[in-house]
């Protein structure tokens, strides 16, 4: 163990809890005092561990992608059947986005809408996250091109899918019903995939 007074909190857990606060209240809507209260730590500890509000938020985005998005994307990237893979993926996304266990909506989509015209570093990080989502789904659709509606390319299908999910996530934030979200997701499946 290192010298000095021991840390009271775990950095990863703190990042997770800070994520939940930003997720629910937005970037501007979150005061640093809200975060220190949720983590039960003091502001100097927060600054020592993560830097200021902006730096903390950038790390929260990384945490979100690594711990929320990546785990449900993995099965899709490994599936043998696009239709079933996407169906499961949509179920998982819906569970997150509906906000029963987590705050509603997609953190990337919501914070992008809110803050990207204000802080360049945040805009860059979130735009990068979208670009990587595009590339991910593009690879998935390339791999299962035989199941894709031949009217669209994998690139266009990826943009359409990511945009649909972001739009549905905003809808969920407005308090939309589970059925409404699922009807949008299943509509995508029915039109974007080749019908047997």
Binding at 44: pick from a second copy, DNA, none (beta carbon under 5-8 Å per type): DNA
Contact string 4-43 vs DNA (x = CB under 7 A): xxxxxx--------------------xxxxx------xxx
Could you please report the per-residue DSSP string of 65-123? IIIIIHHHHHHHHH-S-HHHHHHHHHHHHHHHHTTSSS-SS-HHHHHHHHHTTT-HHHH
Judged by CB under 7 A, the chain residues 48 through 67 that form the site for DNA are: 48-49, 52-54
Provide the 3-class DSSP secondary structure of residue 150. coil
Binding at 156: pick from a second copy, DNA, none (beta carbon under 5-8 Å per type): a second copy
* Residues at the site binding a second copy, with contacts judged by CB under 8 A: 24-26, 28-29, 103-105, 109-118, 123, 126-127, 130, 149, 151-152, 155-157, 159-160, 162-168, 170-171, 173-176, 180, 183-184, 186-188, 190-192, 195
Binding at 80: pick from DNA, a second copy, none (beta carbon under 5-8 Å per type): none
**Tokens linked to 52:** 């200021």
Cα angle 93, 99, 105; round to 5 = 65
Dist. CA 107–CA 16, nearest whole Å? 13
- Which residues 6+ apart lie within 8 Å of 74 measured at CB? none
Cα 87 to chain centroid distance, Å, stands at 18
Instruction: Kindly state the smallest distance separating residue 172's Cβ from a second copy, in Å.
Output: 10
How big is the site for DNA, counted in residues (CB under 7 A)?
25
Interacting residues toward DNA by CB under 7 A:
1-9, 30-34, 41-45, 47-49, 52-54
């Amino acid at each position: 163990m290192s010298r000095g007074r021991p840390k009271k909190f775990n950095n990863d857990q703190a990042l997770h809890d800070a994520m939940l606060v930003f997720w629910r209240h937005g970037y501007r809507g979150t005061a640093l005092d809200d975060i220190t209260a949720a983590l039960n730590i003091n502001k100097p500890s927060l600054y020592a561990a993560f830097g200021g509000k902006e730096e903390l938020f950038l790390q929260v985005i990384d945490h979100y992608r690594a711990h929320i998005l990546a785990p449900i994307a993995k099965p899709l990237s490994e599936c043998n059947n696009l239709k079933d893979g996407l169906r499961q993926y949509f179920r998982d996304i819906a569970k997150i986005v509906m906000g029963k266990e987590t705050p509603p909506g997609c953190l990337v989509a919501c914070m992008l809408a809110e803050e990207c015209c204000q802080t360049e570093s945040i805009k860059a990080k979130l735009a990068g996250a979208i670009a990587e989502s595009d590339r991910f789904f593009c690879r998935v659709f390339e791999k299962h091109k035989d199941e894709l509606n031949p009217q669209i390319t994998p690139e266009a299908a990826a943009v359409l899918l990511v945009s649909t999910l972001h739009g549905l996530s905003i809808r969920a934030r407005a308090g939309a019903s589970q059925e409404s979200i699922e009807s949008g997701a299943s509509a995508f499946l029915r039109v974007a995939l080749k019908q047997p």
